[in-house]
Amino acid sequence: MTEISMTSETRNQTANRVQIALIIALLIALIFAPFVLYPVFLMKVLCFALFASAFNLLLGFTGLLSFGHAAFFGGAVYFTAHAVKEWGFSPEAGILLGVAGAAVMGLVIGFFAIRRQGIYFAMITLALSQMFFFFCLQAEFTKGEDGLQGVPRGHLLRFIDLNEPLNMYFFVLGVFVLGVFAVWRIVHSPFGMILRSIRENENRAISLGYSVNLYKLGAFVMSAALAGLAGGLKALVFQFATLTDVAWQMSGEVILMTLLGGIGTIFGPIFGAAFVVTVQNYLSTTGFPVTVLTGLIFIVCVLLFRRGIVGEFNASNLAVKLGLKSPK
């Protein structure tokens, strides 16, 4: 091969090294964070970061805007909470059930939604998730407006006591890392390559012989399952399940987190979620209406840095200097 490919390979190697260094730094920060910050706050950030990463698998890497992801996230919160509280499931089994439930819901909702494109796709996901919301409002096992309270955290693998805040934190961190790794693995796989080509040019992917609906459905179910993983964790972190997690505002919030952080990047949704959760936490003590501020942030984001926090960083001169991006 030619010199051009040589230089680009060396460039890729530096980019990889810088990326690995950043990942290690982030992990170290997360390992020491609970000694400085409130573990519950950090766990909330991690749950939403995983939720946003799962959502981004669909929006950023497949090009599908779902407006119904609260159904998978909140659905899993209920499934896990119910299984652990009423059926006495272990925490790991409860979470797995949440994931499975979310995946099945993803299969059903995805099956109908992928038949349409763009705004119609978003409308169908919204409509079906609203149907699920009303189901949760009426159903017996969700306890309606009261929600499920006092969900026990239990013992992980029967011997690690999750009521111990640090044990719980490192369990959440472990699952979070696994979940984000799964997203990364899917995106950087032969299957992920086809997802990206569908995002880039769906008709071309069809003309190359790919049954794009099957790929979209596959991505939808994976995204729903990972959103369910985040939901299952959240049920154990907060020890309750309420209607807020299945409401449409939750679907909007995850879109905001993902856009704010930068769609189509692995780290964008993580930073976006951290930012939104932090802002919400501060505002909840001031009495300032949170929705007003998130709305304002959203407008500023769309007007000023459309690529999101991480997206803008990747496109910046600093990223070029670090070798993360090739100079134009």
Partner 1 sequence: MVLSARDLRRDFGGFTAVNNVNIDVHHAKVHALIGPNGAGKTTVFNLLTKFLQPTSGKITLLGQDITKTAPARVARMGLVRSFQISAIFPHLTVLENIRVALQRPGNLSTQFWLPLSKLDVLNDRAMELLTSVGLQNQCNSLAADLSYGRKRVLEIATTLALDPKVLLLDEPMAGMGGEDVGMVAELIRDVAKTRAVLMVEHNLNVVSDLCDHITVLQRGEILAEGDYATVSNDEQVKIAYMGTDHD
Q: What are the residues binding partner 1 (CB under 8 A)? A: 1-2, 4-5, 8, 185-186, 188-194, 196-197, 200-201, 203-212, 218, 222
Question: From the CB of 23, what's the least distance to partner 1, in Å?
Answer: 16
Distance CA 47, CA 172 (A): 8
Distance CA 128, CA 123 (A): 9
- The residue among 139 and 206 lying less far from partner 1, judged by its C-beta, is 206
Q: Name the nearest CA neighbour of 131 among 77, 71, 91.
A: 71
Q: Please give the backbone phi and psi of residue 54, each rounded to the nearest 5 degrees, phi first.
A: -65, -40
Question: From the CB of 266, what's the least distance to partner 1, in Å?
Answer: 14
- The residue among 138 and 207 lying less far from partner 1, judged by its C-beta, is 207
Contact 147, 232 (CB under 8 A): no
Structure tokens at 87: 């059926």
Residue 180: its H or E element: helix 165-187
Question: From the CB of 197, what's the least distance to partner 1, in Å?
Answer: 5
Contact 240, 278 (CB under 8 A): no
- The residue among 86 and 200 lying less far from partner 1, judged by its C-beta, is 200
Question: From the CB of 44, what's the least distance to partner 1, in Å?
Answer: 29
Contact 264, 65 (CB under 8 A): no
- The residue among 169 and 267 lying less far from partner 1, judged by its C-beta, is 267
Question: From the CB of 159, what's the least distance to partner 1, in Å?
Answer: 30
- The residue among 129 and 265 lying less far from partner 1, judged by its C-beta, is 265
Residue 49: its H or E element: helix 39-62
Question: From the CB of 225, what's the least distance to partner 1, in Å?
Answer: 12
- The residue among 151 and 222 lying less far from partner 1, judged by its C-beta, is 222
Distance CA 145, CA 197 (A): 43
